[in-house]
């Protein structure tokens, strides 16, 4: 059995106290092994972003644990990278594209040459070779998100978290970016945790799909996709097992969306 | 706080659009300086007509300015340094010292206060009140405390202009996008680098707005403090000239002060434009 | 392993923190001025100054001086608006005039109006006319500049739409351009209000016969440091009041503006 890279045990997060307390996450459990691509999908407002914040160490949970490589996550772990949904706010406008990708590399004890190489390679990998001197606001939304992905790549993390990264991009660009993530994962053997509200996307990209319930979020289903690689936007989505799996996820989510208050912890 | 933000945002938008709207670069240049020339000509005509001693002709003013501060000496760069040393250097040295002192204190304190969680809330009302004191009113107390010398003038300018810088810095630092800060934490960017590479650049537009407002106030305090009590400087010179009925000298002083004020402002805007090039381009001059 | 739930943090509301801040600073200042290194003749105890402030605010004679300052301020500001807004409307309507005045305004703006105080004294003596003339001169520029820009920046699409629906030139002006430019004009007036106060006080400090500034200088000449500081506190209150009124007014009138909403 390959190593468990990420283990989430009995995770809980409650905002506020007393009367105004809101339980965002309750008794959430799952684990990810090295090299897996796991997607998390759930109804809107289910607390998916909150979950990622807990896993990444940005937000301490109120109960339960997150362990990365066996170590409890109580602050942001070293070898973790994240791609945010709002790329325009996550890239730094006063730096060039190259500058943005390079910024996190300062602490890794690399020579300047090494850093330059890494930046170049990452930008190549996302198809932005030659854009290093541009500024983020000179690029389209899809390209900006590629810069964010390149930045995560250059960082060479153990695990990559992606928080609805393609939600703010148009459908065609999204398809390109999805395939980019698959290619990058293939090439660099990355472990990826991918949060999305798009059911097709969640099934298309992942090895496993975790379906979350409504707030307070729990894992309702953990499904293996068992779809072959390499994946194709048209062919994979025509397959019987894709359609079936997609339908199952969609039904689960619909049930969750309609379930309403009955899921709330007393 | 709201006043500061709106004012700086609108003012910057205004200033940017004002500058950006050019009827073509070269023709804009002509129109600009043509208008100025036209005013000069109109002044000349009216002044020679009216023969009022209070409004001498522009040609008289210009020749007097030349006589006072320029020499025929190439080696000295055509500048009459002895007069410039008395009239101009002290003024602008005091201005620079006072403003730089205020900038240093204001930015450093602003960053510290802005980054501390609730410190800004404790400090806000007091700082807003101090900022509300019209700068001229500070002169009598400073005269009492520090007398009439250079030290008083520098302290006065520094105290008078630190507040807009402080407020704007606090505001800028507090408004750094949380997503950018989260990104920094994710990628392990340490506290010090976070400050220099993220907080300060993000806050820079607001800080510069505060610096610009402060420069204008500093100029006012520089002139006023010299008129109230001084032995040198341009403000002193203008007042002296008025009191000794040397009206042409008075106007020459006003002219030089105007040119200097314009030059300082233009210089500052130049620097701001370079440092904040990314910001202007990003906003694209949009409202 | 469960982690303890977050402690119940009851925090002070924002105004409470502000109050605490003020109280702490005042207490520290009191300690410093009473026991500190500076001669109390130059830096009297904070409590003395605050007491004087209360006395002054109830003194008819003092308030009379304040009223005189405000009189020059109001008249000057009013004249500047009466001249500046119409002039700005006219100048802002023509592209050529706009570019021409740009240069002039850019050159004239940085000239500190205080440099003209000696000239004003020369022309008008030491009375109210001198103060008003300075206030008008200094207030005119922000109002003019903002009005010109506000007029120039009116959305041409909005104007065209009005024309298509049959609005004549004057109607376009009053129903489209002016309302659109109004927030900018108001900002100009707000800036001018602060500038006007600065000029009025400057003129008084440099020798005008009446007014708050002159009163403070006189207190200084009589070696009444406590009155000087008290007077400065009052000017701060005055400046604060004027600013507060204009900001509230702006929010009331133009609260719908996105820039304001963002700022909040």
- Give chain C's domain count: 1
| Model confidence band, residue C24 (pLDDT cutoffs 50, 70, 90) | very high
Determine the Cα–Cα distance for residues B97 and B80; give it in Å rounded to an integer.
24
Determine the Cα–Cα distance for residues C199 and B134; give it in Å rounded to an integer.
9
Q: Are B235 and B91 in contact (CB under 8 A)?
A: yes
Q: What is the CATH number of the domain that holds B257?
A: 1.10.3720.10
Q: Do A64 and C8 touch (CB under 8 A)?
A: no
Q: What's the whole-number average pLDDT of chain A?
A: 88
Taken as a whole, chain B contains a residue count of 287
pLDDT over 50 at C154, yes or no: yes
Distance from CA of A135 to the nearest CA of B (A): 8
Q: What is the pLDDT of residue A23?
A: 83
Q: What is the pLDDT of residue C264?
A: 38
Q: What is the pLDDT of residue C3?
A: 46
Q: Decide if C199 is inside a domain.
A: yes
DSSP for chain B reads -HHHHHHHHHHHHHHHHHHH--S-HHHHHHHHHHHHHHHHHHHHHHHHHH--TTS--HHHHHHHHHHHHB-S-TTTTTB-HHHHHHHTHHHHHHHHHHHHHHHHHHHHHHHHHHHSTTHHHHHHHHHHHHHHS-GGGGHHHHHHHHTTSHHHHHHHHHHHHHHHHHHHHHHHHHTS-HHHHHHHHHTT--HHHHIIIIIHHHHHHHHHHHHHHHHHHHHHHHHHHHHHS-SSSHHHHHHHHHHTT-HHHHHHHHHHHHHHHHHHHHHHHHHHHHHTHHHHHHHTT--
| Model confidence band, residue C65 (pLDDT cutoffs 50, 70, 90) | very high
Q: Do B183 and A137 touch (CB under 8 A)?
A: no
Q: What is the pLDDT of residue C258?
A: 57
Q: Decide if C9 is inside a domain.
A: no
Q: What's the whole-number average pLDDT of chain C?
A: 85
Distance from CA of C191 to the nearest CA of B (A): 8
Q: What is the pLDDT of residue B88?
A: 87
Query: Which residue range(s) make up the domain with B176?
Result: 83-283
Q: Decide if B72 is inside a domain.
A: no
Subunits close to C (at least 3 CB pairs below 8 A): A, B
Q: What is the pLDDT of residue B24?
A: 45
Subunits close to B (at least 3 CB pairs below 8 A): A, C
Residues β-bridged to residue A65:
A9
Nearest-Cα residue of chain C relative to residue A8: C1
Q: Provide the chain B residues 215-234 that lie in CB contact (below 8 A) with chain C.
A: 216, 219-220, 223-224, 227-228
Q: Decide if C108 is inside a domain.
A: yes
> In the structure encoding, which two tokens stand for residue B126, read together?
């007091």
C71 and chain B in contact, CB less than 8 A: no
* C-beta neighbour count of A39 within 10 angstroms: 26
A166 and chain B in contact, CB less than 8 A: no
| Model confidence band, residue A37 (pLDDT cutoffs 50, 70, 90) | very high
Q: Give pLDDT tens digits for A123-160.
A: 999 999 999 999 998 999 899 999 999 999 999 998 99
Q: Do C8 and A61 touch (CB under 8 A)?
A: no
Residues of chain B predicted below pLDDT 50: 1-6, 8, 21-25, 285-287
Which residues of chain C have a CB within 8 Å of the CB of B33? 103
A60 and chain B in contact, CB less than 8 A: no
B190 and chain A in contact, CB less than 8 A: yes
Q: What is the pLDDT of residue B10?
A: 54
B286 and chain C in contact, CB less than 8 A: no
* C-beta neighbour count of B181 within 10 angstroms: 16
Q: Do C239 and B22 touch (CB under 8 A)?
A: no
- Give chain B's domain count: 1
| Model confidence band, residue A1 (pLDDT cutoffs 50, 70, 90) | very low
Q: What is the pLDDT of residue B267?
A: 92
C222 and chain B in contact, CB less than 8 A: no
Question: 3-class SS at B47?
Answer: helix
Test mutation, A63, A71, A72, A73, chain C, max C CBs within 10 A: A63
Of B23-32, C160-169, C221-230, which one has max mean pLDDT? C221-230
Q: Decide if C70 is inside a domain.
A: yes
Q: Decide if C113 is inside a domain.
A: yes
Q: What is the CATH number of the domain that holds C72?
A: 1.10.3720.10
Query: Which residue range(s) make up the domain with C249?
Result: 46-263
pTM for this model (two decimals): 0.84
Nearest-Cα residue of chain B relative to residue A104: B187
Nearest-Cα residue of chain A relative to residue C5: A62
* C-beta neighbour count of C95 within 10 angstroms: 11
Nearest-Cα residue of chain A relative to residue C7: A17
| Model confidence band, residue C10 (pLDDT cutoffs 50, 70, 90) | low
Q: Give pLDDT tens digits for A83-107.
A: 998 888 899 999 999 999 999 998 7
A178-189 in b/e form (b: 16+ CB < 10 A) is bbbbbebbeeee
Q: Are C51 and C58 in contact (CB under 8 A)?
A: no
Q: Decide if C3 is inside a domain.
A: no
Which residues of chain B have a CB within 8 Å of the CB of C251? 2
Q: Decide if B77 is inside a domain.
A: no
Q: Give pLDDT tens digits for A224-235.
A: 998 888 899 999
Q: What is the pLDDT of residue B43?
A: 85
Is the Cα torsion angle C207, C209, C210, C216 positive or negative in sign? positive
Determine the Cα–Cα distance for residues A14 and A6; give it in Å rounded to an integer.
22
C180 and chain B in contact, CB less than 8 A: no
Q: What is the pLDDT of residue B18?
A: 52
Distance from CA of A82 to the nearest CA of B (A): 7
């Amino acid at each position: 059995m390959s190593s468990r890279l990420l283990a989430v045990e009995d995770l809980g997060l409650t905002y506020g106290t007393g009367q105004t307390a809101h339980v965002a996450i309750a008794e959430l459990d799952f684990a990810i092994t090295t090299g897996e691509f796991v997607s998390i999908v759930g109804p809107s407002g289910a607390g998916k972003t909150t979950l990622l914040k807990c896993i990444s160490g940005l937000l301490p949970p109120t109960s339960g644990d997150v362990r990365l490589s066996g170590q409890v996550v109580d602050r942001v772990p070293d070898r973790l990278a994240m791609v945010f949904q709002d790329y325009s706010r996550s890239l730094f406008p006063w730096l060039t594209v190259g500058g943005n990708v390079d910024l996190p590399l300062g602490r890794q004890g690399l020579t300047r040459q090494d850093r330059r190489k890494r930046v170049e390679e990452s930008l190549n990998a996302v198809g932005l070779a030659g854009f290093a001197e541009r500024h983020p606001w000179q690029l389209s939304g899809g390209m900006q998100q590629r810069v964010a992905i390149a930045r995560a790549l250059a960082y060479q993390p153990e695990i990559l978290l992606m928080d609805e990264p393609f939600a703010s991009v148009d459908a065609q660009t999204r398809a390109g970016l999805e395939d980019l993530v698959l290619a990058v994962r293939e090439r660099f053997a990355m472990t990826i945790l991918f949060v999305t509200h798009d059911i097709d996307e969640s099934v298309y990209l992942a090895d496993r799909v975790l379906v979350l319930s409504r707030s307070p979020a729990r894992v309702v289903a953990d499904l293996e996709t068992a779809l072959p690689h390499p994946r194709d936007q048209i062919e994979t989505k025509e397959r019987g097992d894709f359609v079936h799996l997609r339908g199952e996820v969609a039904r689960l989510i619909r049930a969750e969306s309609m379930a309403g208050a009955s899921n709330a912890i007393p | 706080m709201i006043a500061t933000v709106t004012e700086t945002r609108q003012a910057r938008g205004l200033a940017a659009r004002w500058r950006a709207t050019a009827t073509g670069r070269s023709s804009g240049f002509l129109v600009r300086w043509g208008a100025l020339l036209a005013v000069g000509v109109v002044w000349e005509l009216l002044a020679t007509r009216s023969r009022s001693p209070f409004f001498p002709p522009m040609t008289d003013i210009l020749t007097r300015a030349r006589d006072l501060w320029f020499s025929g000496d190439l080696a000295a760069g055509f500048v009459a340094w002895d007069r410039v040393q008395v009239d101009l250097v002290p003024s602008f040295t005091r201005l620079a010292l006072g403003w730089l002192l205020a900038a240093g204190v204001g930015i450093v304190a602003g960053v510290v206060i802005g980054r501390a969680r609730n410190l800004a809330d404790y400090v806000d009302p007091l700082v807003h009140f101090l900022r509300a004191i019209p700068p001229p009113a500070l002169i009598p107390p400073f005269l009492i405390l520090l007398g009439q010398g250079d030290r008083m003038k520098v302290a006065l300018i520094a105290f008078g202009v630190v507040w807009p810088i402080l407020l704007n810095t606090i505001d800028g630092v507090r408004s750094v996008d949380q997503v950018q800060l989260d990104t920094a934490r994710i990628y392990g960017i340490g506290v010090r680098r976070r400050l220099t590479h993220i907080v300060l650049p993000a806050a820079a537009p607001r800080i510069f707005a505060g610096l610009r407002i402060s420069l204008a106030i500093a100029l006012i305090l520089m002139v006023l403090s010299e008129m109230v009590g001084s032995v040198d400087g341009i403000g002193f010179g203008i007042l002296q000239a008025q009191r000794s009925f040397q009206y042409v000298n008075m106007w020459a002083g006003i002219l030089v002060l105007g040119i200097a004020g314009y030059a300082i402002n233009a210089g500052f805007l130049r620097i701001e434009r370079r440092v904040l090039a990314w910001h202007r381009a990003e906003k694209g001059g949009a409202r | 392993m469960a982690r303890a739930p977050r402690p119940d943090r009851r925090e002070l509301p924002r105004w409470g923190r502000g109050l605490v801040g003020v109280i702490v600073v005042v207490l520290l200042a009191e300690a410093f001025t009473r026991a500190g290194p500076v001669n109390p003749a130059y830096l009297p105890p904070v409590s003395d100054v605050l007491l004087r402030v209360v006395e002054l605010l109830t003194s008819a004679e003092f308030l009379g001086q304040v009223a005189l300052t405000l009189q020059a301020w109001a008249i000057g500001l009013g004249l500047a608006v009466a001249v500046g807004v119409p002039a700005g409307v006219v100048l802002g309507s023509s592209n050529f005039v706009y570019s021409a005045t740009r240069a002039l305004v850019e050159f004239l703006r940085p000239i500190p109006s205080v440099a003209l105080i000696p000239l004003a004294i020369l022309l008008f003596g030491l009375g109210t006319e001198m103060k008003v003339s300075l206030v008008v001169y200094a207030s005119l520029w922000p109002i003019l500049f903002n009005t010109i820009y506000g007029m120039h920046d009116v959305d041409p699409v909005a104007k065209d739409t009005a024309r298509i629906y049959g609005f004549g030139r004057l109607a376009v002006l009053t129903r489209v351009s002016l309302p659109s430019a109004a927030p900018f004009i108001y900002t100009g007036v707000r800036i001018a209000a602060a500038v006007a106060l600065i000029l009025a006080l400057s003129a008084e400090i440099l020798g005008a016969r009446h007014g708050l500034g002159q009163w403070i200088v006189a207190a200084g000449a009589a070696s009444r440091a406590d009155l000087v500081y008290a007077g400065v506190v009052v000017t701060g209150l005055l400046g604060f009041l004027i600013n507060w009124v204009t900001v509230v007014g702006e929010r009331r009138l133009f609260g719908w503006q996105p820039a304001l909403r963002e700022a909040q």
